[in-house]
């Protein structure tokens, strides 16, 4: 009873019932007013005809007038009163005369027009009674000589309304039933596609068949949009799953290599007695592998935090110009060993709102990469500028450059252009992935441009402070 089909069908049924009931009430009220107005007009017209059919000064009811007024057919009661209130004549279907009320008499004598009211017969029946004057003109003045009356039973009028109510109820119930049946058929047809999509989604989730997709209906716009949206979600899930599998495989490989080296060197050292110098060499090699493991672990942790939305620990005003100077100072030792100079061109401040530690790591990773791949005697240039509301940092080297086929994959995790040389420097292919993750967390973008033999330039673009 809590299914979507039942709730939708119930809601549609209730809404239709309320609408039909409101329409029925409106029709009934309108029809009741119309019927009452028609009845009043009927008795007034017949009374007026009766008043005009009498002789001036001697009002009397002619027998043929009953036939003309169709009193039996119309279930009308007609009668004539004299000016003194005495009954002159009445129709044969009227057993007891209807009273001439003082209100009707005063109204007619005052206005010389008809008066309509509801009165009670002696048998307790309610009748709608119209009274009009019987008059003639004498000396230019209208003189009333009597009162012509015509009446109809109220229950006859109500019988019409009762019949109308019955038809409205029958029609309303039939309409609600028809709407309910049509809605049920349409819902079963529409939800058949949803049930099929649900079953497909269940199979995809239960069996892990991420390559399969839901069927997209050709005509049902809403259902087709839902299926397309779910398929897009599956695309993202498949891409994330593939990336995760590759990440786990690459991480396992990167972790296994230094561990294998450590284990091998230790096992070789323990096979026989060695000199202190031999043990020193083994320990020094082990320290290098441990440092590589530590750096890899830190990079993996940084990526995990970025994926969890924790890449930006705190936000503050950060001047990228000053930060570039600080990075150049900290990496001066490394640049000296590599024989590569670091030049910073930051003529004006470029302030952004972000995490200074994370942004320093971004710049340090880019500069370290540039130092590694720059020939001795060359230089690495850091340029800071503001362009169209953004703070831009460019890190350029004069190294061998990167072939065009590698550029789209540079920011993928564990991707290395020169795997042998990267391992020589202790790299695991995570530096640029961390750069992209941290820059994205700051609402910015990072791009790369390179020409073989001309060098490589990385561009970091971040929104200026106060502009998003």
Residue with more model confidence, 468 or 86: 86
The pLDDT value given to residue 324: 93
- pLDDT band of residue 130 (cuts 50, 70, 90) is very high
Residue 26 has pLDDT above 80, yes or no: yes
Least confident residue range of 77-81, 104-108, 231-235, 322-326: 231-235
Averaged pLDDT, 239-250: 69
Residue 56 has pLDDT above 50, yes or no: no
4-161: CATH topology: Beta-Lactamase (3.30.450)
- pLDDT band of residue 461 (cuts 50, 70, 90) is very high
- pLDDT band of residue 87 (cuts 50, 70, 90) is confident
The pLDDT value given to residue 428: 55
Tokens for 38? 């028609």
Residue 423 has pLDDT above 60, yes or no: no
The pLDDT value given to residue 342: 92
**pLDDT 10s digits, 288-316:** 778 777 777 776 777 676 666 665 667 88
Sequence-distant (6+) residues with CB within 8 A of 133 are: 51, 108, 109, 112, 113, 144, 146, 147, 148
Which range scores top for mean pLDDT: 4-18, 57-71, 212-226, 285-299?
A: 4-18
Confirm whether pTM is higher than 0.75. Answer: no
Averaged pLDDT, 13-24: 90
CA distance 150 to 75: 10
Residue 382 has pLDDT above 90, yes or no: yes
The pLDDT value given to residue 395: 94
| DSSP character string of 136-204 | EEETTEEEEEEEEEEEEEHHHHHHHHHHHHHHHHHHHHHHHHHHHHHHHHHHHHHHHHHHHHHHHHHHH
Picking from 460, 423, 417, the residue whose alpha carbon sits closest to that of residue 442 is 460
Contact (CB, 8 A) for 362 and 462: no
Which range scores top for mean pLDDT: 21-35, 87-101, 206-220, 285-299?
A: 21-35
- pLDDT band of residue 432 (cuts 50, 70, 90) is confident
Share of the chain above pLDDT 90, in %: 17
For all residues of the chain together, what is the average pLDDT? Answer: 80
Least confident residue range of 182-186, 266-270, 437-441: 266-270
Least confident residue range of 113-122, 268-277, 345-354: 268-277
CA distance 431 to 410: 10
Strand bridging mode 379-387 / 341-345: parallel
CA distance 137 to 144: 9
- pLDDT band of residue 57 (cuts 50, 70, 90) is very low
Contact (CB, 8 A) for 441 and 313: no
The pLDDT value given to residue 462: 93
**pLDDT 10s digits, 315-324:** 889 999 999 9
The pLDDT value given to residue 69: 67
Residue 391 has pLDDT above 90, yes or no: yes
313-463: CATH topology: Heat Shock Protein 90 (3.30.565)
Least confident residue range of 126-140, 166-180, 333-347: 126-140
Residue with more model confidence, 195 or 274: 274
Averaged pLDDT, 130-159: 82
The pLDDT value given to residue 73: 66
The pLDDT value given to residue 13: 87
The pLDDT value given to residue 210: 61
Other beta carbons within 10 angstroms of residue 230's beta carbon come to 17
Domain limits, the chain: 4-161, 221-304, 313-463
The pLDDT value given to residue 425: 46
Q: Which residue has the tokens 């060359």?
A: 378
Which H or E element spans position 279?
helix 276-307
Least confident residue range of 231-245, 311-325, 398-412, 427-441: 231-245
Query: 221-304, which class in CATH?
Result: mainly alpha
């Amino acid at each position: 009873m809590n299914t979507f089909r039942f709730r939708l069908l119930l809601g549609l049924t209730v809404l239709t019932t309320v609408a039909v009931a409101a329409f029925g009430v409106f029709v009934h009220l309108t029809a009741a007013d119309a019927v009452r107005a028609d009845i009043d007009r009927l008795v007034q017209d017949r009374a007026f005809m009766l008043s005009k059919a009498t002789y001036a000064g001697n009002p009397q009811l002619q027998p043929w007038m009953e036939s003309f007024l169709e009193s039996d057919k119309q279930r009308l009661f007609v009668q004539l009163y004299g000016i003194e209130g005495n009954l002159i004549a009445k129709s044969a279907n009227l057993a007891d005369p209807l009273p001439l009320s003082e209100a009707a008499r005063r109204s007619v004598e005052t206005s010389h027009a008809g008066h309509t009211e509801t009165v009670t017969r002696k048998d307790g029946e309610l009748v709608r009674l119209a009274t009009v004057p019987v008059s003639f003109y004498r000396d230019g003045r209208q003189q009333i000589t009597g009162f012509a009356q015509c009446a109809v039973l109220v229950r006859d009028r109500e019988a019409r309304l009762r019949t109308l109510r019955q038809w409205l109820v029958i029609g309303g119930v039939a309409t609600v039933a028809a709407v309910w049946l049509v809605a049920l058929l349409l819902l079963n047809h529409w939800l058949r596609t949803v049930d099929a999509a649900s079953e497909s989604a269940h199979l995809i989730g239960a069996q892990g068949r991420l390559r399969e997709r839901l069927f997209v209906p050709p005509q049902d716009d809403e259902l087709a949009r839902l299926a397309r949206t779910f398929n897009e979600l599956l695309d993202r899930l498949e891409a994330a799953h593939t990336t995760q599998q590759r990440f786990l495989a690459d991480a396992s490989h990167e972790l296994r290599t230094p561990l294998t080296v450590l284990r091998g060197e230790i096992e070789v050292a323990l096979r026989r007695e060695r000199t202190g110098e031999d043990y020193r060499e083994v320990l020094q090699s082990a320290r290098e592998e441990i440092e590589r493991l530590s750096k890899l672990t830190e990079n993996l942790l940084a990526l995990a935090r970025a994926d969890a939305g924790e890449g930006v620990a705190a936000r503050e005003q950060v001047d990228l110009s000053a930060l570039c100077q600080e990075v150049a100072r900290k990496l001066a030792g490394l640049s000296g060993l590599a024989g590569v100079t670091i030049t910073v061109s930051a003529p004006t401040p470029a302030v952004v709102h972000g995490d200074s530690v994370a942004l320093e790591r971004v710049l340090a990773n880019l500069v370290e990469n540039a130092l590694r791949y720059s020939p001795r005697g060359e230089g690495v240039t850091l340029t800071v500028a503001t362009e169209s509301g953004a703070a831009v940092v460019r890190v350029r080297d004069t190294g061998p450059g990167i072939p065009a086929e590698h550029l789209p994959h540079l920011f993928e995790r564990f991707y290395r252009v020169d795997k042998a040389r990267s391992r020589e420097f202790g790299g695991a292919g995570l530096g640029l992935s961390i750069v992209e993750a941290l820059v994205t967390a700051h609402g910015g973008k990072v791009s790369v441009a390179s020409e073989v033999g001309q060098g490589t330039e990385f561009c970091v673009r971040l929104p200026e402070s106060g502009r998003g």
